Amino acid sequence: MVETKFSDNVLTAKLYGEIDHHKAPAIRQKIDGQTENLRPKELHLDFSGVSFMDSSGIGLIMGRYRQVSLIGGKLKVINVPKNLQKIISLSGIDSLGVLK
Amino acid sequence: MNIVNEMNLNFKSRSSNESFARATVSAFVLCLDPTIAELSDIKTAVSEAVTNCIVHAYPDTIGTIYINVKITDSNKIIIKIRDTGIGIKNIKQAMEPLFTTSSDERAGLGFAVMQSFMDNIKVRSKENKGTTVTMEKTLYRTSYDKR
Ligand SMILES: Nc1ncnc2c1ncn2[C@@H]1O[C@H](COP(=O)(O)OP(=O)(O)OP(=O)(O)O)[C@@H](O)[C@H]1O
Ligand SMILES: [Mg+2]
């Protein structure tokens, strides 16, 4: 579901599988816990292992954007697979400048 | 327009059924030989409608979600997703992008996704009676194998 790694002040959360309303809370808890403890300069959400995502995934990204902003950090959304680009672009999160 | 295939599915509004519902509908429409992109669109739209039933229609209870899928001889898929929950007061407002009544981390994009991933969507709702979302998508290629 999610694996985290911390180095050089960057917390990377690698997401796996399908992200929906059922799966999102556990992912959110793990990332927010680590964000609070480690207070990273940047949080990277790595979507390379995500096979499916609905609007719950968009809520997850926007929520992490708020959380990491609260501690003065930056969010980056990295390695978005081709099949998720349609929902990502519809969501408008591109305008937050987080897509890499 | 003739209906050449049809299926019905009822299940409890548990969040663990979200993946079950979208996988089952997508397995049913496989006979139309959809593209990966078409299948992904359908899965996502079904996931949105089913999640709305679980989150909004039955906020503090477990209710039943009813799905009906029809396939026509012109490669059209008609998906009806129905609940008997709290209903929607103002459908027009509910369908506006970013509108949400939820205090959780919801983007308010479910209806926007259904609208853009399917050819069309119709929403009927009555307060305290429930909501029916009907979505249609005509697949681009192939003809249905009627066997
Ligand atoms: N089946 C339903 N029963 C009752 N209310 C609903 C139903 N479906 C949607 N709604 C209402 O319509 C609003 C908008 O739904 P939509 O799916 O667009 O956004 P959301 O569910 O709030 O957020 P997201 O889908 O991005 O997680 C909901 O907040 C809810 O108030
Ligand atoms: Mg929704």
Q: Which domains, ranges and CATH numbers included, belong to chain B? A: 3-138 (3.30.565.10)
Q: Give pLDDT tens digits for B25-81.
A: 999 999 999 999 999 999 999 999 999 999 999 999 999 999 999 999 999 999 999
Query: What is d(CA B113, CA B122) in angstroms, rounded to the nearest whole number?
Result: 13
Q: Which domains does chain A have, with CATH numbers?
A: 2-96 (3.30.750.24)
Query: What is d(CA B48, CA A94) in angstroms, rounded to the nearest whole number?
Result: 21
Ligand 1 test: best mutation among B56, B84, B123, B133, most atoms within 8 Å of CB?
Answer: B56
The set of residues, in sequence order, having a beta carbon less than 8 Å from that of B124 and lying 6+ positions away, is: B131, B132, B134
Q: Give pLDDT tens digits for A15-52.
A: 999 999 999 999 999 999 999 999 999 999 999 999 99
Between CA A85 and CA A89, with CA A87 as vertex, the angle to 5 degrees is 65
- Concerning whether B106 is annotated as a catalytic residue, the answer is yes
Q: How far is A98 from chain B (nearest CA, A)?
A: 16
Strand partners, B69: B7, B79
pLDDT value for B62: 98
Q: Give pLDDT tens digits for B91-132.
A: 999 999 999 999 889 999 999 999 999 999 999 999 999 999
The position carrying tokens 């995500």 is A50
User: Sheet holding A74-78: strands in order across?
Assistant: A2-7, A10-19, A42-53, A74-78
Q: Does residue B54 belong to the interface with chain A, where contact is any CB pair within 8 Å?
A: yes
Cβ(B135)–Cβ(B114) below 8 Å:
yes
pLDDT value for B146: 52
pLDDT at B147 over 60: no
Between CA B97 and CA B57, with CA B113 as vertex, the angle to 5 degrees is 80
ipTM (interface predicted TM): 0.95
The catalytic position among B17, B18, B38, B48 is: B48
